[in-house]
Amino acid sequence: MSMKQYPWDLEERAEDAIVAYLKATVGRATLVRAAREVIDAKFPLITVATGDCTNNAELANFNGLRRFDVVVIIQTEGVNYNEELGQAEILETAREAHRAVKSDAIGSLASTVLHEDLNALQPQGIVFSQAHLTTQSRGVEEGLLTTRQTLDVIACPKEI
């Protein structure tokens, strides 16, 4: 059976759906964007990026269900400059700012029915059958405090 009538840009559609979800649920003044979207970076920043995509069932023939990791990258400035003090604030303040943004973003994604929450937004051309938190890593990259939260996602295309 041919599935040519379906949209096969699932990675971009998944990114768009998760960006829309985070924009609707993260309560802070945080810039949320899809990967490869050209913008002037402002912090705090949340970037949503999909990784490699594969058949859901490795031993089965192609059936349209695709499995991929989606990485939600949360970044805040490592040192906030305070003009009143005329000096860089201590890293602890930056850590607290990152902690608050991270808590909001991860809290929005921490759901046993995240796939249903995403589908409730009625994203075009994609249906989620699984979406849940997996690995999380933290670090400092180019002066930015960074948390990378991975989601395990299974989705398939739907007619537009």
Taking residues 67-94, report their average pLDDT.
Answer: 75
Is position 18 within any domain? yes
User: What's the pLDDT tens digit per position in 82-133?
Assistant: 566 555 555 558 889 999 999 999 999 999 999 999 999 999 999 999 999 9
Domain span including residue 56: 10-157
Is position 88 within any domain? yes
Strands (E), 22-143: 31-34, 45-55, 66-77, 81-82, 87-88, 126-141
pLDDT for the residue numbered 3: 80
Is position 34 within any domain? yes
Q: How would you classify the pairing of strands 31-34 and 45-55?
A: parallel
User: What's the pLDDT tens digit per position in 5-34?
Assistant: 888 899 999 999 999 999 999 977 899 999
Q: How many domains does the chain have?
A: 1
Long-range contacts of 115-122 (CB under 8 A, 24+ apart): 115/153, 115/154, 117/21, 118/17, 118/18, 118/21, 121/17, 121/20, 121/21, 121/24
- Residue 71 to residue 160: CA distance in whole angstroms: 26
Task: Identify which has the larger pLDDT, 43 or 4.
Answer: 43
Is position 32 within any domain? yes
